[in-house]
Structure 1
């Protein structure tokens, strides 16, 4: 059945990556507000849940955010251009977007950093900020401390040739470093109208990479590229300067605590270091997920830290909220983390080069860089899985949050510095699920480190792993379940032979319990699980009536490749009846009998690809072939070409930009192309195998990195270069998805309100009232975990009944 074009909708479900700036703690200390490119998300720290999502215009150029001091529900989001977006993040009954206005900033400048709000009165708002020219590198520019409102602005201080600057937590102190390594210390007076500044001398030895200044006393911390932290006393030059030594590589972030008693530092080691300045004692929080880029502090009580962690070179960030008391994690905010074939920074470089040359576009689809990224949708749980370094990330697109991250290959958890960067971590290159979702197959590679000029430095170790999903792992308190390794095969296609494709077996073959792998020489292998006759019972773990079976995977069928010729232009597909395997290698396409694993001599396949094969697939009785410059379909029942023959340029990762729907008998292809301004946008086309006229034509405002058909969602799912997940679905499916998401967010918001009300009641004290003799009562300590039993099963429960249950706990 083919659905008409008018019944399809392109919808973006996810929010993408967290932005580099603009995240703030709510004034009550119980919420955290995170900014994404097109959304503001509000998290309740006690439950770790997102309780509200606010759709916004493009916020990618955000300079910072501040909360109103007179009304903590009002959030001002300030862009580098001076535009201010006013939102109400808290009150659900009102429209969240209250309006916009522009700040009066000097012409030719941009807002580099937003420090504080000085006046919260409506139409008389004033902000404290630093303005100047924005640069991605640390080239010297003029920086100005500015007090700006809607109609006027006042320059408080200006310094030239500044490479790096920092402000204190209370925004009363600033420190600037010039290109000549001159340190300028600025102190604002109480009215914040007059600025006093002075130059501070310090012993410069290595480049300064991070700075911080205390709220009082003018203590300045300078982090260096060598790892040494210099402590300079700007207001007391007679005090000897100090050195703090622990980091062995570049210091990337420094921040003083709210009371200035501690200095927090972070760098490439993935360790957050706490320096007690009075005693020189150190405390460590190791094994974070990446290099520490920035640390900020909740300003009301100072009991929470926000740590921004850089996960890779693709602008992927993680926001970690920590308790200042015991350093436990209170919240983790991250987006989908796909692995793009080339860094996304290359896209902007190519765009600037084309704009400079003003080159005519003979073929708008001929894009130099391959920025595709693989992902798979689990057929049962609907989670989106992306390989990410040595891990796989499972992302829930309905809740728009990370479900879990699981290690697939062993990697060094500590941060690598200096020559340790030559030691490569394993990389998960491929993953696939069986049709029933019970098994997962992954393929990872591990290059040999280039150390000491070893002869084996160019060798790569490969591993094929088979995982079984376990709902409730025995001996572990994990209701979410996890993947457990069943079988590991080292060099599954022989030494130094890489697997370039993994696909699941059709239901017709062993009930879908199998995988097919293909290598870069065109070799094909079929794997299937085997349950041994012996049943092992582990004492103390299972009862006599329970059976614990050990399942291993083994090689069942083999077709060898063509010897020494290696190529990444290899693709394979398996027909639904299980009888045929189609193999595309370089420019040739052959059919293989699954039973004999021999190529079919008669009838011979004609030349279909015409160029290097990117992808190949079966759709009913048709064979669909995507090559470097065309998309064609071939009718296997008549052995003739169909009418569908589409010419366009596909990148090396073109296999990620095409998907088939057997239920709807559709071919979906995403075509990325340049616009007149050399931006990259995408078109999505649906075809029937026998027709050149598209069934559906859609568009997306950014490039698409991957496209899949999800049997669980009954629609097509795509991933774009902004790390956002979108769906192409019928109207009915779309409305059901939106209703589901809205109801979950509404329920989380109502739970948040109830829990806050319960806490307010439980913490209320009554003075001067006679309640009789209370000496016989046992005191009861309440904490957020006291309500876990009440909140475990709330499905279908009315709010009044839930509130009564909460009050019983109190």
Structure 2
């Protein structure tokens, strides 16, 4: 019996990223002892251990009825997380933009009844400030925002009194200090000129209002367009970043100011350190800049993974960066990076899967730049671009939101091509394993700024693995610069990678234009075990040509072994391949025609009359799967067929026209069909548009996953999912893995463990977080002296276990740094048993 469960993945939740007036995008929480970091995702809360750099706890919304009801809508976001100040150190209080408040434990099993309530407040909650005593709400009014400030008085748990204090009109940009006690905003005054408001949230010690200082005599829009703000903890320094790259630091007591110039594109983030000594800034250069305000000295942390959207201190020990991988313009991909403030080493890299969809999704938020490109928006058309994007999405009758995703046969890791890179994601550990650049592009070494944003990076189109898992084949397309005579001449590159001893992929062979100049590779399939131990692959082009590549042990390289010349007089991207397990036959689908190729002769299979054995279907073939070496599953634009190769007859057919026709680009429906080679079962994902609201179309979708037996004669299961499914793959075991448009990962399986699905809460990882460090524990064990009573009932079993590990109970021997000196005398060729005996003699 199959079950469907969403168990992993998700995107980092940035609640204020779609509000152009917000400079502070993220929400996170550091535990009281500073050992764990809590970050919200769009489907769960994740708790990370800073010491081990791993996710040690996931509080999944789907596993709790209360959390499911609170986050039942995509528009619900977590705007604030704070620790509950009581005897229980394991609780957090969560505020959402809809006014919901919930108290939950981040340690231990999720309570079935989570305390929650709703604030009596109008408008969308924007932030919770002043140690939970102030609420800021926001509402968009044309090109600006209207803010409202409220007093939040907690009379008792679950009962709040909310009093309106003040309203701020025509706000363009806002921020607050790290201690949440001071607020600053850039707004448009009654004379239609930009002004700055700085206000203390707890008293009247700071209240200032003044025009935005000019940074240049230029009248260009970029030199006056404010893109970032930062306010120090004392309310005495305000930093203003502009689209031109200039930073203006204002001393608020006397309104004197100075200019800091280094950025060559828009300043996207600013932040003061808690001691007000340094100003942090970041932007398109993928560099974190440190400005020492007393001396104007500057330090840099270069080569970050993405552009810097936010840079803020977390306590006095860490810096938190929000990075955006802007190269992917189909979705907004974010990563939160936690840096050690002492040596600027990365402690945590928090992100989810990074799929690249075929169509731009509706939640894309492009950063501001001086130019307009696919990955950015300029200050002049910032507001129009968002409306245009939504209008175009609604105008389209059908969308192709599929994304490529592949599974490694041995590690079971998911591989997602991410423009010019390749992300490796562990479904079961729910974390990124690796992020590797596999192409040559500008972004690999540095960030792109200004007109460089129009340069298109190479794109990884396909990834395949040999069945032994030792080789990876990638196919990429390189784009020349625009505006040249050769701008339409694309380069197609086939690469072969070997897995080294450190589990890293090393490039071994690179083939430029493997099927000729300007000829794309439309499909790749790896060889079965019967052909060169699976160390081979077939590549197909858009004109019917086929080439067989294999690893030659004598040449110690990948070589072209056989080829079949193009044999059609037209071009098509509807090309699919299937390979028999014994390697004798290859099934080649081109448009609506299915032909069979005899591998050893590498030519079309012919009948008794010398005519090619071909079969023509009704519409172009979208997917091709060979099941149990006897049944061929064929999906066209209108139907799904199972064809018996032995009897040359159709076993069963299904009409797919309402779900497939004109929805997916050629070959992309293959991303939604998976085959379990162990059982012969087939899984198919079907996407449908959501129900219309008030007669108008929405961008919401729903989906189904259907499980069939090997010849499609029996349906073994039907499952619903509330989002568009972008990928469906088999994990070389017993599970089908799917990813939806929200980057959430799920499984359809008969063997799904309760730990993954039901979140069996094992708190062993927390024991180190709420106790002494490992070193202190070890020291305690080595020095501990226990008097063992001869009566068994007086002996503590736990102490006996600890002391037995440390040494003999009857002796109280102290181990110091010199205890093992004799152990290393003459250790050559010593067997492990002998070495163990030596250790035991020393400690006993």
TM-score, normalised via structure 2 length: 0.79
Task: Describe the shift of the 1:309–1:155 C-alpha distance in structure 2 as closer, same or farther (beyond 3 A).
Answer: same
Q: In 1, are the aligned partners of 2:362 and 2:393 still within 8 Å (CA)?
A: no
State the aligned residue count.
Answer: 713
Partner of 1:248: 264
Map 1:181-330 → 2, pairs under 5 A = 181-188=193-200, 190=202, 192=203, 196-203=207-214, 205-237=223-255, 239=256, 241-299=257-315, 302-312=316-326, 313=329, 314-330=331-347
Structure 1 residue 428 and structure 2 residue 449: aligned?
A: no
Partner of 2:149: 145
Deviation at residue 809 of structure 1 after TM alignment: 8.8
Task: Describe the shift of the 1:280–1:355 C-alpha distance in structure 2 as closer, same or farther (beyond 3 A).
Answer: closer
Q: Distance in 1 between matches of 2:583 and 2:129?
A: 64
Structure 1 residue 748 and structure 2 residue 748: aligned?
A: no
State which of 692, 713, 716 in structure 2 corresponds to 1:695.
716
Task: Describe the shift of the 1:222–1:662 C-alpha distance in structure 2 as closer, same or farther (beyond 3 A).
Answer: same
SS where residue 595 of structure 1 aligns?
Answer: coil
Partner of 1:444: 476
Task: Describe the shift of the 1:200–1:170 C-alpha distance in structure 2 as closer, same or farther (beyond 3 A).
Answer: farther
Map 1:749-768 → 2, pairs under 5 A = 749-753=766-770, 756=773, 759=776
Deviations 1:620-645 (A, max 9, x none): 21221112222112211111112233
Q: Distance in 2 between matches of 1:265 and 1:688?
A: 57
Task: Describe the shift of the 1:760–1:234 C-alpha distance in structure 2 as closer, same or farther (beyond 3 A).
Answer: farther
| Long gaps (5+) in structure 2 | 15-25, 62-66, 154-158, 216-222, 365-385, 693-697, 781-799, 808-813, 818-844
Deviation at residue 385 of structure 1 after TM alignment: 0.9
Q: Distance in 1 between matches of 2:347 and 2:562?
A: 50
Deviation at residue 512 of structure 1 after TM alignment: 1.7
State which of 46, 56, 64 in structure 1 corresponds to 2:51.
46
Structure 1 residue 704 and structure 2 residue 725: aligned?
A: yes
Partner of 2:497: 467
What root-mean-square deviation, in Å, do the aligned CA atoms of Structure 1 and Structure 2 show? 3.1
Structure 1 residue 654 and structure 2 residue 669: aligned?
A: yes
Structure 1 residue 510 and structure 2 residue 544: aligned?
A: no
Structure 1 residue 11 and structure 2 residue 30: aligned?
A: no
State which of 368, 381, 384 in structure 1 corresponds to 2:414.
384
Deviation at residue 353 of structure 1 after TM alignment: 6.5
Deviation at residue 235 of structure 1 after TM alignment: 2.6
Partner of 2:735: 715
Structure 1 residue 577 and structure 2 residue 582: aligned?
A: yes
Deviations 1:480-538 (A, max 9, x none): x2112221111111111111211111122222221111122221111111112xxxxxx
State which of 489, 494, 500 in structure 1 corresponds to 2:516.
494
State which of 606, 611, 622 in structure 2 corresponds to 1:614.
622
Deviations 1:570-593 (A, max 9, x none): 111112221211112222221112
Deviation at residue 293 of structure 1 after TM alignment: 0.8
TM-score, normalised via structure 1 length: 0.82
Task: Describe the shift of the 1:458–1:177 C-alpha distance in structure 2 as closer, same or farther (beyond 3 A).
Answer: same
Deviations 1:270-308 (A, max 9, x none): 111111111111010111111111122223xx1211001
Partner of 1:121: none
Task: Describe the shift of the 1:185–1:800 C-alpha distance in structure 2 as closer, same or farther (beyond 3 A).
Answer: farther
SS where residue 654 of structure 1 aligns?
Answer: helix
State which of 528, 543, 547 in structure 2 corresponds to 1:525.
547
Task: Describe the shift of the 1:738–1:691 C-alpha distance in structure 2 as closer, same or farther (beyond 3 A).
Answer: closer
Deviation at residue 351 of structure 1 after TM alignment: 12
Q: In 1, are the aligned partners of 2:214 and 2:224 still within 8 Å (CA)?
A: no
Task: Describe the shift of the 1:803–1:457 C-alpha distance in structure 2 as closer, same or farther (beyond 3 A).
Answer: farther
Q: Distance in 2 between matches of 1:197 and 1:802?
A: 68
Q: In 2, are the aligned partners of 1:211 and 1:220 still within 8 Å (CA)?
A: yes
**Structure 1 stretch displaced more, 13-22 or 641-650:** 641-650
Task: Describe the shift of the 1:70–1:493 C-alpha distance in structure 2 as closer, same or farther (beyond 3 A).
Answer: same
Task: Describe the shift of the 1:323–1:736 C-alpha distance in structure 2 as closer, same or farther (beyond 3 A).
Answer: closer
Map 1:769-808 → 2, pairs under 5 A = 800=802
Task: Describe the shift of the 1:434–1:345 C-alpha distance in structure 2 as closer, same or farther (beyond 3 A).
Answer: same
Q: Distance in 2 between matches of 1:275 and 1:802?
A: 55
Task: Describe the shift of the 1:12–1:350 C-alpha distance in structure 2 as closer, same or farther (beyond 3 A).
Answer: farther
Partner of 1:724: 744
Deviation at residue 694 of structure 1 after TM alignment: 1.7
Structure 1 residue 111 and structure 2 residue 151: aligned?
A: no
